[in-house]
C-alpha cells in the first residue's frame, strides 16, 4: 500500500537547537542586525556590501552547525510516511539530516543568483560572495533568498502539496509571515494537524493538536502520535 503523505511546514524553531537563532525571539534584531537593513530590497539598494557580508556570515555559521534530533526525526519518519517538507528556512539542515523531499519557500543560503534573473542560480556551498562577484554576463550576484516584500514563487508548488496531505505538521514557526502561514488553510478539513512549538503560535482554525515542547523533544512525542495514523 502507498505510504500516507505527511506534509511538514518548518520554520526557524526547528534549527534553534542546532545553534541558529530564530527571527522573532530577539526584538526585531536578527543576529544583531535590523532585519530591514539586511533582508529587504531597500536594504540591498542602500548598502549591498553590508547585506552580502551578513549572508556571508550566515553561510559561514551554517558550515559550523549540525542538524539536530528534530531534523533526524523527520528523516526517520520516511520509513512510515511519504514525508514532504516545506521549509521557510534558508539553511540546509533538513538535507544534511537526509530528508529526501524538501521545498525551500524562502530560498537557500548555499545558492546565489544574478540580480537581474532569479532563475539563474549558482551553488556556492558555504563560500562568501562580495561586490564585484558576477555571473558570466558581468551581472552582480546576490543571495538566492526571498527578502521581505519580495514574491514567494515556490508557494505555487507548495499549495497542491498541502491540498494532498493526509497528515499536516507545523514545527517551529511563529506563523506570522505570509504566504507561508496560510498553507495550513489549504489542507482538507478532516486531515489531522499537529503543531510542535514551545510557544503556541496563533493559528486561526480549530482542530489542531498542540505539542508544546522544543522541537527535539516534541518530535519524539509526535512520532508516537503518528504511528497511530500510518
Among residues 54, 83, 68, the alpha carbon closest in space to that of 217 is found at 68
Q: In terms of CB distance, is 22 or 122 closer to ligand APR? A: 22
Q: Which stretch binds ligand APR (CB under 6 A): 8-16, 134-142, 161-169, 184-192?
A: 8-16
**Grid coordinates of 183:** 498553507
Q: In sequence order, what E strands does 56-106 have?
A: 81-87, 102-104
Among 3, 5, 24, 96, indicate the residue that binds ligand APR (CB under 6 A). Answer: 24
Query: Is residue 173 a contact point for ligand APR (CB under 6 A)?
Result: yes
Among 83, 183, 197, 226, indicate the residue that binds ligand APR (CB under 6 A). Answer: 197
The span from the CA of 97 to the CA of 169, in Å, is 18
Closest distance of CB 198 from ligand APR, Å: 5
Query: Is residue 214 a contact point for ligand APR (CB under 6 A)?
Result: yes
Residue 52 has φ and ψ, to the nearest 5°, of: -60, -40
Query: Is residue 106 a contact point for ligand APR (CB under 6 A)?
Result: yes
The span from the CA of 83 to the CA of 74, in Å, is 8
Query: Is residue 215 a contact point for ligand APR (CB under 6 A)?
Result: yes
The span from the CA of 52 to the CA of 64, in Å, is 19
> Does the annotation count 104 as an active-site position?
no
Q: Which of 71, 94, 104, 106 is catalytic?
A: 106
Q: Collapsing DSSP states into helix, strand and coil, what is residue 12?
A: coil
Query: Is residue 11 a contact point for ligand APR (CB under 6 A)?
Result: yes
- Is the Cα torsion angle 215, 194, 177, 107 positive or negative in sign? positive
The span from the CA of 145 to the CA of 147, in Å, is 6
Query: Is residue 143 a contact point for ligand APR (CB under 6 A)?
Result: no
Catalytic sites, residue numbers: 106
List of residues contacting ligand APR (CB under 6 A)? 11-13, 16-17, 22-25, 88, 106, 172-174, 176-177, 197-199, 201, 214-215
Amino acid at each position: 500500500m502507498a505510504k500516507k503523505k505527511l506534509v511538514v511546514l518548518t520554520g526557524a524553531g526547528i534549527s534553534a537547537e542546532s545553534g541558529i537563532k530564530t527571527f522573532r525571539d530577539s526584538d526585531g534584531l536578527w543576529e544583531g542586525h535590523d532585519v530591514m537593513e539586511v533582508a529587504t530590497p531597500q536594504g540591498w539598494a542602500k548598502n549591498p556590501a553590508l547585506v552580502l557580508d551578513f549572508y556571508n556570515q550566515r553561510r559561514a555559521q551554517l558550515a559550523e552547525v549540525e542538524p539536530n534530533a528534530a531534523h533526524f526525526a523527520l528523516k526517520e519518519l520516511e520509513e512510515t510516511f511519504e514525508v514532504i517538507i516545506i521549509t521557510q528556512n534558508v539553511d540546509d539542515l533538513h538535507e544534511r539530516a537526509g530528508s529526501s523531499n524538501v521545498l525551500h519557500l524562502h530560498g537557500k543560503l548555499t545558492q546565489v543568483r544574478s540580480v537581474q534573473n532569479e532563475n539563474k542560480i549558482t551553488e556556492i556551498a558555504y563560500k562568501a560572495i562580495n561586490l564585484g562577484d558576477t555571473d558570466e554576463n558581468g551581472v552582480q550576484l546576490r543571495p538566492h533568498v526571498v527578502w521581505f516584500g519580495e514574491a514567494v514563487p515556490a508557494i505555487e508548488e507548495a499549495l497542491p502539496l498541502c491540498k494532498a496531505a493526509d497528515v499536516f505538521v507545523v514545527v517551529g514557526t511563529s506563523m506570522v509571515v505570509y504566504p507561508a502561514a496560510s498553507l495550513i488553510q489549504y489542507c482538507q478539513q478532516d486531515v489531522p494537524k499537529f503543531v510542535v512549538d514551545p510557544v503556541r503560535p496563533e493559528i486561526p482554525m480549530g482542530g489542531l493538536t498542540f505539542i508544546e515542547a522544543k522541537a527535539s523533544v516534541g518530535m519524539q512525542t509526535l512520532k508516537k502520535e503518528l504511528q497511530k495514523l500510518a
